[in-house]
Amino acid sequence: MSKGLRSSFGGPNRRAFLGGASLLLPSVALAQTQGAPRRQAPAEAGPPPVVFVHGNGDSSALWINNIWRFEANGYKRNQLFAIDFAYPNARSDDSKPQPFRSSSEDQMKELATFVAQVLKATRRRKVALVGSSRGGNAIRSFLKNGGGAEQVSHAVLCGTPNRGIVISETILPGSEFNGAFPFLKGLNAGADDLIPGVELMAIRSDRNDKYSQPDGRFVGAPGKPTGVGYDASELRGAKNVILEGLDHREVAFHKLAFAAMYEHITGKAPGSMFIAQEPRPVLNGKVTGIAEGAYTNVAASGAEVEIFEIDSRTGDRLSAVALHRKTTDEDGVWGPFIGRSDAYYEFVLYMPGQPTTHTYRSPFLRSSDVVHLRPQPFTKVDEGAGAVTIMSRPRGYFGVGRDKFTLDGKVPPGINDGVPGTSTGRLAFEASPARTVVAVFNNETVPTRTWPAKDGHIVVAEFLN
């Protein structure tokens, strides 16, 4: 990995090179998530509180690694916040209501309310905002249209399609992500993208962001020009950082992205990427659901969660009795659960009308309250399968030739060559006998067990890196 970095404002981009270095194993910091922040902290000097803003269809759970690393470098837990937009998926046409989806204005207003809550809780005048993908749209709109410039000291936009995914009258017409339509046209009006009083930075990929491509392959229009280039995520006049080889999600969640955002906010490079282990981490989060095919971040009541410790090689449960069991109330909270930082766990989620979802995870080295749980639906390709196992990488895509990844010793179908374009892979198995299926991503290994699909069970191996 090259140590050479260059930066400027409106000049040559800052670059960091990703070679053969493996990803770090994560640790956990405790964030404050959507809803009224828990307690009022005394006012204090130092770097601003940080609000993390997730992308399209996502939740605050994706920021767990960033939160851990900020804490490892001196941030207190009560200074780190992560919003959960109620309806995180964008409308097909930003101007037309669509059930269980949000407009750009909806997200801007929701972010403004959350920032006000954070300022009240921390007794600070300004916050720093860090957004992934669509989260950056909400940040830019808040700063330019929602009065946010008075409440924000720093903003970091990671993989945000600032020029658009497309600039086209015919591809994605009316979309929030189309630079030819009102939302982005309004944000991009003017000679630059600067906001007076706010230190702005954009983090982008070189050529590996699926949503900053000259060809329309990843927006359903292969072979057609999108009207944008590889630099579609840059901010005019601001500091722009290029992380070479990283993909659309990694430019927010990779350790190099953390280093860039931390230095931008604090004015100094992080002292460490590694995080001290807590022997007995406290884990918590909420259960959310699906409405008309779209994930929401609305708390789900009446869901049952069980946690089992499993064998680190086979995925077998070490006991028939769950270490933790809870049925959620209206707040959707499934914990707290006090675990061990050297243990592997299986999280089982039972929700009416949804498959029973078995999620297997690597050890949690520290505490977190953004361990959110969602059901995993079956898809058409699962029809007729005896058992279905999915490997999932929420914080990045699978890069053929860049990463080492297998499920049950093979690369699942549907993972494309070239620009990393998918974060999941799935395989079907016989219903019986039940057996071990191991998922591998670089230095991370997650063991699982098969469960019968005919009885409504589905398995997810979720990577933390």
Judge whether 376 and 289 are in contact, CB under 8 Å.
no
The enclosing domain of 376 has a CATH number of 2.60.40.2190
- Residue 170, domain member (yes or no): yes
Note whether 82 and 63 are within 8 A (CB): yes
Distance CA 327, CA 178 (A): 42
Tell me whether residue 277 is in a domain: no
Asked whether residue 154 is assigned to any structural domain, the reply reads yes
Residue 238 lies in a domain: yes
Q: Which domain holds residue 207?
A: 14-266
In a domain, 32, yes or no: yes
* Same domain, residue pair 353 and 255: no
**Is 274 a domain residue?**
no
For 326, the token pair is 């809870």
Do 454 and 319 sit in the same domain of this protein? yes
The residue type found at 224 is: K
| 31: CATH | 3.40.50.1820
Structural domain ending residue among the three candidates 266, 295, 315: 266
Q: Which helix (H) or strand (E) holds 328?
A: none
Same domain (yes/no): 330, 386? yes
In contact, 116 and 37? CB cutoff 8 Å: no
- 211 and 254 both lie in a single domain: yes
Same domain for 94 and 19? yes
C-alpha pair distances (Å), 158 with each of 214, 363, 419: 19, 27, 17
Q: Distance between CA atoms of 280 and 294, rounded to whole angstroms?
A: 35
Angle at 351 between CA 65 and CA 340, to 5 degrees: 40
* Residues 230/215, Cβ–Cβ less than 8 Å: no
Cβ pair 129, 202 in contact under 8 A: no
Return the SS3 of 243: strand
**Cβ–Cβ < 8 Å for 29, 77:** yes
195 plus 134 within the same structural domain: yes
Please report, in tens digits, the pLDDT of each residue of the chain (465 residues total): 333 333 333 333 444 433 333 322 222 233 454 444 555 545 557 899 999 999 999 999 999 999 999 999 999 999 999 999 999 999 999 999 999 999 999 999 999 999 999 999 999 999 999 999 999 999 999 999 999 999 999 999 999 999 999 999 999 999 999 999 999 999 999 999 999 999 999 999 999 999 999 999 999 999 999 999 999 999 999 999 999 999 999 999 999 999 999 999 999 999 999 877 888 999 999 999 999 999 999 999 999 999 999 999 999 999 999 999 999 999 999 999 999 999 999 999 999 999 999 999 999 989 999 999 999 999 999 999 999 999 999 999 999 999 999 999 999 999 999 999 999 999 999 999 999 999 999 999 999 999 999 999 999 999 999
Tell me whether residue 2 is in a domain.
Answer: no
Query: Are 88 and 199 in a shared domain?
Result: yes
Picking from 266, 294, 323, the residue at the C-terminal end of a domain is 266
Phi first, then psi, for residue 391 (nearest 5°) are -100, 135
Residues 27 and 157 in one domain: yes
Interstrand relation of 288-291 and 294-299 (parallel, antiparallel or unpaired): antiparallel
Residue pair 118/102 in contact by the 8 Å Cβ criterion: no
**Same domain assignment for residues 23 and 125:** yes
Q: For CA atoms 452, 326, 375, 323, give the dihedral sign.
A: negative
| Residue whose C-alpha is closest to residue 248's, from 165, 190, 311, 179 | 165
- For residue 8, tell me if it sits in a domain: no
Burial tier of 298 (Cβ tally within 10 Å: 0-12, 13-18, 19+): middle
Dist CA 177 CA 89 (whole Å): 12
Of 219, 241, 266, the residue that ends a domain is: 266
- Alpha carbon distance 425, 408 (integer Å): 11
Considering the domain architecture, whether residues 255 and 359 belong to the same structural domain is answered as: no
Same domain membership, residue 301 and residue 247: no
Helix (H) or strand (E) holding 184: helix 182-187
Question: Do 378 and 415 share a domain, yes or no?
Answer: yes
Count of structural domains, the chain = 2
Q: The tokens of 167 are what?
A: 């600039």
φ/ψ of 442, rounded to 5, equals 50, -115
CA distance 328 to 320: 22
